[in-house]
Structure 1
Amino acid sequence: MSTRFDVPTASAGADGYRRQFSSWKRERPFWGGVLLIVSGLLIGIIPLDLAVKFALVPAEFAYIGLIFTVFVLLCGVFALAQPELASFFGVAGMLIAVASIFGALGGFVIGSIVGVAGGSLCVAWEPPAETE
């Protein structure tokens, strides 16, 4: 007797999801996009943390930092969503991450370094060869 609340076995479900994720990951610059997203989060920590907790920075600094954060995050997300444009988003992410040093301290420069690494991985990524 089967009800609509029956759960398939965990090993079969997890294995299927793992295979789907693996094939999805193989078709796009996964690590480059993830590093760009992490870079955006690191870049955003500085203006948000300092502006909200300590009120040490002017509002313009916080806004510029948020703009850099959003753009680097979007470059990472778009590189994952549109793998054929990964080179463009990788270069844009690198440029914005480096420019964030002047507007948001670049996440204490760590965010900028991670952004350059992620953008480089996006630029270097090539689509997998199609097999017949």
Structure 2
Amino acid sequence: MAPDNRPLIGPIVVALAGLVIAAVPLQFAGVFGAIGAGDAPMVGLAIGVGLVLTGVAARVRPTFTSELGAVAIVLSLSSVFGALGGLGVGLLLGVLGGSLCVAWKPATS
């Protein structure tokens, strides 16, 4: 937990998952185009950007961290269809970070 009573690790892991998931469609855009999956890179990129924004929002708005964690888990699982789940690494990071966000509770003083 961060010293200012906001979640730290969960949102960072979610944002990192978003970067990994967004990088995969950019890396393999030519392959996706060759096999006829024209819009798949855009879907994967949108999911990756959504995860980065979810991680930032969870850090900025700690009252919504549990809900944003659930959104991160759903986005991570849906990344299998648009970004190959970030080759599995992004998928695992997103589910782990989302779970950390869902489990986070503010410290009582």
| TM score, norm. by length of structure 1 | 0.75
Match of 1:38 in 2: 16
Tell me if 1:56 matches 2:31.
Answer: yes
CA distance in 2, matches of 1:122, 1:104: 23
Give 1:50 shift.
1.3
Shift of 1:49: 1.0
Unaligned runs of 5+ in 1: 1-21
Shift of 1:60: 0.8
- Tell me the distance in 1 between the aligned counterparts of 2:53 and 2:68: 9
Distance 2:7 2:91 in 1: 19
Instruction: Work out whether 1:78 is the aligned partner of 2:46.
Output: no
Query: Computing the radius of gyration over CA atoms, which structure comes out larger, 1 or 2?
Result: 1
Distance 1:43 1:66 in 2: 7
Q: Distance in 1 between matches of 2:15 and 2:63?
A: 18
Question: CA shift at 1:120, angstroms?
Answer: 0.5
Query: How many residues are aligned here?
Result: 104
Task: Extract unaligned runs of 5+ from structure 2.
Answer: none
Deviation per residue, 1:56-114 (Å, 9 max, x gap): 11341111111101111111010000001000100000000011011110100110111
Structure 1 residue identity aligned to 2:97? G
Is 1:107 matched with 2:82?
Answer: no
- Residue 62 of structure 1 aligns to a residue whose secondary structure is helix
RMSD (Å) for aligned C-alpha atoms: 1.0
Counterpart among 93, 96, 109 of residue 117 in structure 1:
96
